[in-house]
Amino acid sequence: MPKLDESLLKGLPPFSLLERPQIREILDQAVSRRYEEGTDIFREGHDADRFYLLLDGYLRVVRSTPGGDQIIVLHISPGQLFGIAPALHRDTYPATSIAAAESIALSWPVSLWSEFMSKYQGFATQTYTTLGQRIGQIQETLTEMATQAVEKRVACALLRMVNQSGRKTTEGIEIAFPVTRQNISEMTGTTLHTVSRLLSAWEKDGLVRSTRKHIVVTAPHRLVVLSGIQE
């Protein structure tokens, strides 16, 4: 594998305050791996032996309910740390991480976590900022499931994906990674049938355009109104 360049990490929040020699130290201890779409990077409850940085692609983070259902609680974008079980004082992963698209990630053995936290300026601060944001996102998702009507939940889920990965096209704003109706049902705690019915109705009404694993929001403002989110 070619030697990775320091510019891969320079500017990313956990490493933005570091000098190039320090970034070189970090990269020299990393393993790089490519993951095909749908691949598990790690599984909920398995030993947390490594922590990761996503260089390219998108990840789904999935939790299991006591009843055995799967809930997609958030997505991870490029440039973010993940699998950071030590930050939660855990020795197992609290969720399953799945490549939502073809992805590339760096990883380090968890034995280096304490060294990174103490040695590299900004690493600890940015890590706990990220962790706080993710806990907030998960709480927001779970609150929506418990309190909002299905239509609002689905609208909110689409808008979160648009805000995280959306890219403008001639048709509207395209979600940049593959997403199925089953995925959306797992994000919103509803059935595949309900999601299919809603998306079909919204497509007829000109709000979205959806094909297999591909969604474009064609009327973002109208979707915001449906979601009940205050602009």
Q: What is the CATH number of the domain that holds 178?
A: 1.10.10.10
Indicate the number of domains in the chain.
Answer: 2
Whether 27 and 50 share a structural domain: yes
Whether 96 and 168 share a structural domain: no
Q: For residue 140, is it within any domain?
A: no
Q: What span, in angstroms and rounded, lies between the C-alpha atoms of 217 and 225?
A: 13
What φ, ψ does residue 51 adopt, rounded to 5°? -125, 160
Angle at 22 between CA 17 and CA 28, to 5 degrees: 130
**pTM of the full structure:** 0.84
In tens digits, what is the pLDDT along the chain, a chain of 231 residues? 567 888 888 888 888 888 899 999 999 999 999 999 999 999 999 999 999 999 999 999 999 888 878 889 889 999 999 999 999 999 999 999 999 999 999 999 999 999 999 998 888 888 888 888 888 888 888 888 778 899 999 999 999 999 888 999 999 999 999 999 999 999 998 999 999 999 999 999 999 999 888 999 999 999 999 888 654
47: CATH: 2.60.120.10
Q: Which domain-ending residue is among 83, 100, 134?
A: 134
Whether 92 and 30 share a structural domain: yes
Reported as half-sphere exposure (CB side, CA atoms, 13 A), residue 119 has a value of 11
Whether 169 and 91 share a structural domain: no
Q: What span, in angstroms and rounded, lies between the C-alpha atoms of 222 and 155?
A: 10
